[in-house]
Structure 1
Amino acid sequence: MSHATRHNTMIAAGLNLIQQAMSIFDSDLKLVLINRPMQQMFNFPDEMIEPGVNFETVIRFLAEAGEYGEVNNLDEFVAVRARLARAFEPHYMERTRANGRVISVEGAPLPEGGWVTVYTDITEIKQQEALLRARSEVLSEQVLARSEELASTNRALASSNAMLEETKHQLTQMEARTRLTTQMMPAHIAHLDLRQRYTFSNRRLQDVMPGSTDDIVGLSAADALGSATYAVIKPHLERALKNEPSVFEFTHHSSSRRIRVAFTPDVAENYVQGVYVLSMDVTEETQTRVALQQTRRREMAAQLTSGLAHDFSNLLTIILGMQGKLQKMTGLPGDAEHLITATLAAARRGGGLLHRIADMTGPRTFRPIPVTLSSFLNELETMATPTLGGDHSLKIVQNATDGIYNLDAGMLQDSLLNLILNARDATPPGGQITLTARAVQDTWLELEVADTGSGFSERALDQAVQPFFTTKGGEGSGLGLAMVYDMTKLAGGNIRLFNDEGAHVLLRLPLRLADAHIPAGLVLLVEDSDDLRASIRDMLVAQGHLVLEATSVHEAEALLNSVPDIAYVLADIQLSGARTGLDLAAFTDRPITLMTSLPASDPLHKAASARGAFLQKPFNDTALHAALTTAVQIGAPS
Structure 2
Amino acid sequence: MSTTALTQAGLNLIQQALTIYDSDLRLAVCNARFAEMFDLPASHTTPGAHFEDTIRHLTSRGEYGPVDDPESFVRDRVEIARAFQPHYMERTRANGRTISVEGAPLPQGGWVTVYTDITDVKTQEQLLRTRSELLSEEVLKRSEELSATNRQLAATNAALKEARRELQEIEARTRTTTEMMPAHIARVDATGRYTFSNRRLSVVMPGRPSHILGLHISETLGPQAYARVKPHLEAAYKGQQSTFEFTDESSSRRIRAAFTPDPLEPGVYIMSQDVTEETQTRAALQQTRRREMAAQLISGMAHDFSNLLTIILGMQSKLSRMAPSTDAAPLISATLQAARRGGDLLNRIADITSQRSWQPKPVALDPFLHDLATLATPSLPDGIKLTIDNRTEGAFMADAGLLQDALLNLILNARDACGETGAIHLSTQDLQSTWLQITVTDTGPGFSDKALDHGLDPFFTTKGGEGSGLGLAMVYDMTKLAGGSVRLSNTAAGARVTLRLPLRPADELPDNSLVLLVEDSDDLRASVREMLIDLGFAVVEAASVTEARTLAEGLPDLALVLSDISLEGEETGLDLIDHLKGIPLRLMTSLPPDHPHHAAARARVPVLPKPFATEDLTAFLGQERPPE
Specify the TM-score bucket, using the shorter chain as the normaliser.
0.7 to 0.9
Matches within 5 A, 1:493-508: 493-501=484-492, 502-508=494-500
Q: Encode CA deviations 1:523-556: one digit per residue, 9 max, x unaligned.
A: xxxxxxxxxxxxxxxxxxxxxxxxxxxxxxxxxx
Q: CA 1:308–1:16 in 2, change beyond 3 Å: closer, same or farther? A: same
Where does residue 459 of structure 1 map in the other structure? 450
Secondary structure in structure 1 of the residue aligned to 2:258: strand
Distance 1:286-1:184 versus aligned 2 partners, 3 A rule: same
Measure the CA separation in 2 of the matches of 1:382 and 1:60: 74
Residues 1:402 and 2:393 aligned together: yes
Q: 1:284-303 to 2 correspondence within 5 Å? A: 284-303=277-296
Deviation at 1:173, TM superposition (A): 2.5
1:240 alignment counterpart: 236
Which residue matches 1:374? 366
In the aligned structure 2, how far is the partner of 1:253 from the partner of 1:141? 81
The answer for the alignment partner of 1:487 in structure 2 is: 478
> Where do 5+ consecutive residues of structure 2 fail to align?
515-533, 538-617
Tell me, what secondary structure is at the counterpart of 1:207? helix
Cross-structure match for 1:533:
none
CA distance in 1, matches of 2:121, 2:470: 92
Matched, 1:33 2:26: no
| Structure 2 residue corresponding to 1:360, chosen from 338, 352, 362 | 352
**1:312 equivalent among 305, 316, 324:** 305
* Change in CA separation of 1:450 and 1:122 when aligned onto 2, cut-off 3 Å: same
CA distance in 2, matches of 1:512, 1:565: 23
1:169 pairs with one of 152, 165, 172: 165
Contact conserved, 2:381 with 2:421, CA < 8 A, in 1?
no
Alignment partner, residue 422 of structure 1: 413
Partner residue of 1:22 out of 18, 22, 29: 18
Distance 1:467 1:196, change over 3 A: same
- Are the structure 2 counterparts of residues 73 and 227 from structure 1 closer, same or farther at C-alpha, using a change threshold of 3 Å? farther
1:255 pairs with 2:247:
no
Q: Is the 8 A contact 2:241 2:260 kept in 1?
A: yes
* Deviation, structure 1 residue 28: 3.4
Q: Secondary structure at the match of 1:267?
A: coil
The amino acid that maps onto 1:471 is T
**Which region of structure 1 is more displaced relative to structure 2, 312-321 or 439-448?**
312-321
Post-superposition offset of 1:369: 1.3
Query: Structure 1, residues 449-468: CA drift from partner, whole Å, max 9, x if none?
Result: 11222221121111111111
The structure that has the greater radius of gyration is: 1
Aligned to 1:197: 193
Alignment-derived partner of residue 211 in structure 2: 215
1:323-355 deviations in Å (ceiling 9; x for gaps): 44445x363322444333333322222222122
Distance 1:77 1:427 in 2: 75
Instruction: Report the CA distance shift for 1:353/1:81 in structure 2 as closer, same or farther (over 3 A).
Output: farther
Flag the 1:70–1:443 CA change in 2: closer, same or farther, 3 A: farther
1:383 correspondence with 2:375: yes
Structure 2: how far apart are the matches of 1:505 and 1:450? 7
Partner of 1:520: 512
Q: 1:146 to 1:449 in 2, by over 3 A?
A: same
Question: Structure 2 vs 1, CA of residues 521 and 273 (structure 1 numbering), >3 Å: closer, same or farther?
Answer: closer
Contact 1:111 1:176 in 2 (8 A): no
Q: Structure 1 residues 241 and 341, CA, compared in 2 at 3 Å: closer, same or farther?
A: same
Give the whole-Å Cα distance in 1 for the aligned partners of 2:309 and 2:508: 48
Distance apart, 1:159 and its partner CA = 1.9
Give the C-alpha shift of residue 125 in structure 1.
4.1
| Paired residue secondary structure (2:266) | strand
Q: How do residues 458-477 of structure 1 correspond to structure 2 at under 5 angstroms?
A: 458-477=449-468
Q: What amino acid is the match of 2:349?
A: I
1:117 to 92, 113, 119: 113
Q: Does 1:393 align with 2:385?
A: yes
Q: Which residue, 424, 429, 438 being the options, matches 1:433?
A: 424
| 1:348 alignment partner AA | R
Distance in 2, Cα, partners of 1:81 & 1:363? 73
Counterparts of 1:427 and 1:28, CA distance in 2: 63
Instruction: Quote the offset at 1:134 in angstroms.
Output: 7.2
Alpha-carbon shift at residue 470 of structure 1 (Å): 0.5
Change (3 A) 1:74 1:255: farther
Q: 1:556 corresponds to which residue?
A: none
Report the alpha carbon displacement of residue 278 of structure 1 after superposing the two structures with TM: 1.6
Amino acid corresponding to residue 303 of structure 1 in structure 2: Q
Contact in 1 for aligned 2:18/2:114 (Cα 8 Å): yes
Shift of 1:198: 2.4
Amino acid at match of 2:404: Q
Q: Take 2:309 and 2:225, find their aligned partners in 1: how far apart are those partners?
A: 56
SS at match of 2:101: strand
Percent identical pairs in the alignment equals 61
1:84 Cα offset (Å): 4.8
Deviates more, 1:206-215 or 1:329-338: 329-338
Q: Could you tell me whether the CA contact under 8 Å between 2:394 and 2:507 is conserved in 1?
A: no
SS of corresponding position for 2:263 = strand
Partner Cα distance (2:281, 2:69) in 1 = 60
Q: Distance in 2 between matches of 1:144 and 1:420?
A: 104
Gap change, CA 1:92 and 1:383, over 3 Å in 2 = farther
Cα distance in 1 for partners of 2:335, 2:623 equals 51
Instruction: Tell me which amino acid in the other structure corresponds to 2:336.
Output: L
Instruction: Tell me the equivalent position of 1:341.
Output: 333
TM-superposed CA distance for 1:506, in Å, is 1.0
- Structure 2 residue corresponding to 1:63, chosen from 59, 66, 87: 59
Q: Cα gap change, 1:565/1:39 in structure 2, threshold over 3 Å: closer, same or farther?
A: closer
Which residue matches 2:541?
Answer: none
Cα gap change, 1:433 to 1:153, in 2 (>3 Å) = same
From 226, 247, 251, give the equivalent of 2:222: 226
Q: How many residues align?
A: 527
Change in 2 beyond 3 A, CA 1:407/1:148: same
Q: Is residue 112–residue 175 contact of structure 1 (8 Å, CA) maintained in 2?
A: no
Report the AA paired with residue 462 of structure 2: T
Deviations 1:43-101 (A, max 9, x none): 21122111111222223223334445666665555455445545544433344434444
Local SS of the residue matching 2:40: coil
Among candidates 1, 5, 8, match of residue 9 of structure 1:
5
Q: Is the 8 A contact 2:508 2:623 kept in 1?
A: no
Query: Does residue 446 of structure 1 match 2:437?
Result: yes
Deviations along 1:385-421, whole A, 9 cap, x unmatched?
Answer: 222221212222334x312111212111111111111
- 1:155-166 to 2 correspondences below 5 Å: 155-166=151-162
- Residues 1:201 and 1:310: Cα distance change in structure 2 (over 3 Å): same
List per-residue Cα deviations over 1:158-177 (Å, max 9, x = no partner). Answer: 12112222322332222222
Q: Which moved more, 1:94-103 or 1:401-410?
A: 94-103
For residue 407 of structure 2, give the secondary structure of its aligned residue in structure 1. helix
Does the residue aligned with 2:213 lie in a helix, a strand or coil?
coil
Verify the 8 A CA contact 2:508 2:622 in the aligned structure 1.
no
- 3-state DSSP class of the match of 1:382? helix
